[in-house]
Chain A
Amino acid sequence: MPVVDVGRGRVKITCTVNGESRTAHGVWEGESLLYVLRERFGLYGSKNACEQGECGSCSVYLDGTLVCACLVLGGQADGQSVVTVEGLDGAKVQQAFVEAGAVQCGFCTPGLVVATHDLLHRVPRPTEAQVREALAGNVCRCTGYQKIIDAVNLAVG
Chain B
Amino acid sequence: MRVGESVRRPDGMPKVRGTFAYSSDLHAEGMLWGATVRSPHPYARIVAINSAEARAMPGVKAVMTSRDVKGRNLYGLEIQDQPVLAGDEVRYWGEAVALVAADHPEQARRAASAVKVEYEVLPPVTRAEDGKVLRHVKIRHGDQNPHAEVVVRGEYEVGMQDQAPLGPESGLAVPDGEGGVDLYIATQWLHVDRQQLASVLGLPPEKVRLTMAGIGGAFGAREDLSMQAHACMLALETGRPVKISYSRPESFVGHVHRHPGRLTYEHGATREGKLVYVKAHILLDGGAYASSSTAVIANATCFAVGPYLCPNATIDGIVVYTNNPPCGAMRGFGSVQNCYAHEAQMDKLAAALGMDPVELRMRNALETGSELITGQVIEGPVPVAELLKRVERFPMPDGAQLLPGGYSNTTHGEGVKRGVGYAVGFKNIGYSEGFDDYSTARVRLFVHEGKPRLEVHTAAAEVGQGVVLVQAQVAGSELGVNDVVVLEADTRVGSAGSSSASRQTYITGGAVKAAAQAVCKQVLDLAQSELHPASELRIENDAVVGADGKQIVSLATLLGDAVIEETREFRPRKTQPLDPDTGQSNAHMQFAFAAHRAVVDVDTELGLVKVVELATAQDVGKAINPLAVQGQLEGGAAQGLGLAVMEEIQVKDGVVRNASFTDYLLPTILDMPPVRMDILELGDPSSPYGLKGVGEPPTISSGPAIVAAIRAATGREVNRVPVRPHDLTL
Contacts and interface: CB of A to CB of B under 8 A. Distances in A.
Interface of A: 3, 5-8, 28, 30-31, 38-39, 42-52, 54-55, 57, 84-86, 93-95, 97-99, 101, 103-110, 113, 128-129, 131-133, 135-149
Interface residues of B, number: 69
A48 B245 CA distance: 9
Given A54-B660, A136-B669, A106 B11 contact: yes
Interface in B1-20: 6, 8-9, 11-13, 15-20
Interface string B640-668: 00000000000000000000111000101
B102 A94 contact: no
Q: For chain A, what secondary structure do more than half of its interface residues adopt (helix, strand, loop), or is it mixed?
A: loop
Contacts of A141: 163-166, 217, 219, 635, 638-639, 666
Contact of A85 (B13, B17, B636): B17
Interface of B: 6, 8-9, 11-13, 15-22, 24-25, 27, 57-59, 102-104, 106-107, 110, 163-168, 214-219, 245, 247-248, 401-402, 407, 463-466, 627-628, 630-631, 633-639, 660-662, 666, 668-670, 672, 674-675
B167 A49 contact: yes
Contact of A146 (B8, B15, B634): B634
Interface centre among A55, A84, A137, A138 (most CB of B within 10 A): A55
Contact of A6 (B6, B104, B407, B674): B104
B104 A7 contact: yes
Nearest to B58: A5
A143 B660 CA distance: 21
A144 B636 contact: yes
A90 to B, nearest CB: 8
Contacts of A142: 217, 464, 631, 635
Given A49-B166, A55-B166, A139-B661, 18 more contacts: A6-B110, A28-B104, A48-B24, A50-B248, A57-B166, A97-B12, A103-B11, A104-B635, A109-B16, A132-B669, A138-B669, A140-B166, A141-B163, A141-B219, A144-B635, A144-B672, A144-B675, A147-B630
B661 A145 contact: no
A106 B21 contact: no
A147 B631 contact: yes
B661 to A, nearest CB: 4
13 contacts: A38-B25, A49-B166, A57-B166, A104-B466, A106-B214, A106-B464, A109-B15, A113-B16, A132-B669, A136-B668, A139-B166, A144-B635, A145-B638
A96 B263 CA distance: 45
Closest 4 CB pairs of A and B: A45-B18, A105-B464, A106-B15, A144-B634
Given A28-B106, A104-B635, A139 B245 contact: no
Contact of A139 (B219, B628, B666): B666
Nearest to B56: A3
A51 B24 CA distance: 13
Contacts of A136: 668-670
B166 A98 contact: no
A44 B21 CA distance: 8
A123 to B, nearest CB: 15
Nearest to A43: B18
Interface centre among A54, A55, A137, A145 (most CB of B within 10 A): A145
Contacts of A85: 16-18
A52 B248 contact: yes
Contacts of A49: 166-168, 216, 248, 661
B59 A144 contact: no
A44 B18 contact: yes
A128 B401 CA distance: 9
A148 B631 CA distance: 10
Contact of B628 (A54, A55, A97, A101): A101
Nearest to B33: A39
Contacts of B18: 43-46, 84-86, 110, 113
Contacts of B15: 103, 106, 109-110
Contact of B22 (A93, A99, A107): A107
Nearest to B219: A141
Contacts of B59: 5-7
Contact of B662 (A30, A52, A105): A52
B661 A55 contact: yes
Contact of A97 (B16, B21, B407, B630): B16
Contact of B58 (A3, A57, A109, A131): A3
Nearest to B60: A7
